[in-house]
Structure 1
């Protein structure tokens, strides 16, 4: 099954929530929305590591095939 997803813009940020070494949530959005999501997840899941980084640009090895 193919899932269509929006292509991230160069300014987008990727927020990931980690349980140990496993990503359990992955969210990509414009910086204000990504920061708001990160803040909410940090309050709700204080014991989990939550990272925010630039979204992978198109054509990079980290970009997912969507």
Structure 2
């Protein structure tokens, strides 16, 4: 089973550029760099949706127990 690790929330952000329901670009970085990337992609691909969200770490429950 896969669960969210019980650790402090990561500081990295994931920026995604969407063409409809398909991700055409994905970039993960520290918040300041991710915001610059999001701004650049929004300018470059004005007609596409660009999202930014915190990175979540997913850990296999069996690995977390060991």
Q: TM-score, normalised by structure 1?
A: 0.73
* Rounded Cα–Cα distance in structure 2 between residues aligned with 1:53 and 1:10: 11
Query: Which segments of structure 1 move beyond 2 Å, counting only runs of 4 or more?
Result: none
Normalized per residue, the structure richer in helix is: 2
Q: Return 11-20 or 51-60, whichever deviates more.
A: 51-60
What corresponds to 1:10 in structure 2?
10
Which consecutive unaligned segments of at least 5 residues does structure 2 have? Answer: 1-8, 61-66
* Rounded Cα–Cα distance in structure 1 between residues aligned with 2:37 and 2:59: 26
Residue 16 of structure 1 deviates from its aligned partner by 0.2
Normalized per residue, the structure richer in strand is: 2
Which consecutive unaligned segments of at least 5 residues does structure 1 have? Answer: 1-8, 61-66
Q: How many residues align?
A: 52
What corresponds to 2:51 in structure 1?
51
Residue 57 of structure 1 deviates from its aligned partner by 1.4
Question: Higher relative contact order by CA 8 Å / sep ≥ 6: 1 or 2?
Answer: 2
Which structure's CA Rg is the greater one? 2
